[in-house]
Each structure stands twice: as structure tokens, then as C-alpha cells.
Amino acid sequence: MTSHIARLVCRIAAVGLVTLGLTGCGINAVPTQDEQVKAAWSQVQNEYQRRADLIPNLVNTVKGYAKQEQTVLTAVTEARAHATQTQLTLPADVLSNPQAFHNFEESQANLSGALGRLLAVSERYPDLKSNQNFLALQSQLEGTENRIAVARKDYIDAVQVYNTTLRTIPSRWIAAIFYPDAKPRETFTTSEKNQSAPSVQF
């Protein structure tokens, strides 16, 4: 009876040591960091959606003062529609699919450019620049652009940690054994010009 208890204690201790060893060697790093990347990506999408939601009110406000700027207004509306459609049709593997990720990034950059042109147009309309609704939208847009920049940075940082885990030893070996489907994640690569927020200062 005593030897049976001793064997049981030894087995429990062995299982505990193996579990502790696996935990210490970073076996959970890949799924933990993958979840952090997904959470950061969700925040990026949330902030871009917030911006997209502000645009119709901004366009309508500008339209009330600058109807003759139809080309710019149309460009913003079309860029928003394209960015929204791209976001709605993202494949499940977007984070490890370079083409899909690039398409998303490009559609958002195009929207940023069109939005920047729309805000530049308002310079020619003093009444618009002093409109309370426009000023409120301008402030919300500025805040959203700042949140987008923070969300993108958080995503880039999470991807860097995750991709490093997948590419360095010994975590690379652990990933190959326990998480063979784990793939490096895509990150933002646009130029500095495209990464900068549209100017909303008047």
C-alpha cells in the first residue's frame, strides 16, 4: 500500500514537472501572442470603422457649403464605400494573406487621401470652417485619426513579438511541433505619407 502511494506521488510529481517544464519553455507563447495579434487587429478595424461612420456627416456638412466641390465629395464617398466593402469581405486568413492585407491597407490609404482633399477644400469656405457641426466633426475625426495611429502601432508591436516567436529558436521548434499551422502575420507597410493622418487643423 505504501509503495502504491509512493508511485502515485511520483507520477503526480512527474506530471507536474513536465507541465512546469512545458510552461517554462514557452509552449503557450504562440497561442497567447496570436490572440494578442487578433485583439490588436480588431481594434484597428474598430477605429477604421469609427472613421468611416463619421464621413457621411462630414460630407453632408461640407456639401451644404461647397456644393460645387462635387468631384471631391464624390471621391470621398466612393473611397469610403470601397474601404467599407473591402473590410466587409476580408478573408478569415487576412493576417497571413499578403494580398488581402495589402488590399485592406490600400483601401484605407485611399480613403485617407480623399478625406485629406476634402478637408483641404474647406479652407476655401470661411462659413464652413466656423460651422459648429463641422467643428465638432473635425474634432471627432482628429481624435479618431489619433486612435487609428495608436491601434496600428499596437498591432505592429503585437505582430513583431508573434513573428519573432515563430522565427527564433527554440520557440520556432515548439511552434513547428505543437502549432504547425501558425504562420507569420502581415504588418502595415505603407509610406510615411499614407500613414500620416489627414490634416484637420484650421
> What is residue 83's predicted lDDT score, i.e. its pLDDT?
96
Query: Alpha-carbon distance 158 to 34, whole Å?
Result: 8
> Does the residue 6 lie in any domain?
no
**Which residue reads 514537472 in cell numbers?**
17
pLDDT values of the chain reduced to their tens digit, one per residue, 202 residues = 566 676 665 567 555 444 445 445 578 999 999 999 999 999 999 999 999 999 999 999 999 888 888 899 999 999 999 999 999 999 999 999 999 999 999 999 999 999 999 988 888 898 998 899 999 999 999 999 999 999 999 999 999 999 999 999 999 999 999 999 999 999 998 654 444 444 444 3
Residue 123 lies in a domain: yes
**C-alpha grid cell, residue 114:** 480623399
Q: Is residue 4 part of a domain?
A: no
Q: Would you state the cell numbers that stand for residue 49, as one nine-digit string?
A: 470603422
46 inside domain: yes
CATH of the domain at 117: 1.20.1440.20
Residue 160 lies in a domain: yes
User: Does residue 18 form part of some domain?
Assistant: no
Amino acid at 65: Y
What is the Cα–Cα distance from 12 to 29, expressed in whole angstroms?
A: 25
Q: Is residue 189 part of a domain?
A: yes
Q: Is residue 138 part of a domain?
A: yes
Domain range enclosing 35: 28-195
Cα separations (Å) of 182 from 39, 98, 126, 161, 186? 16, 15, 54, 14, 13
**Domain tally, the chain:** 1
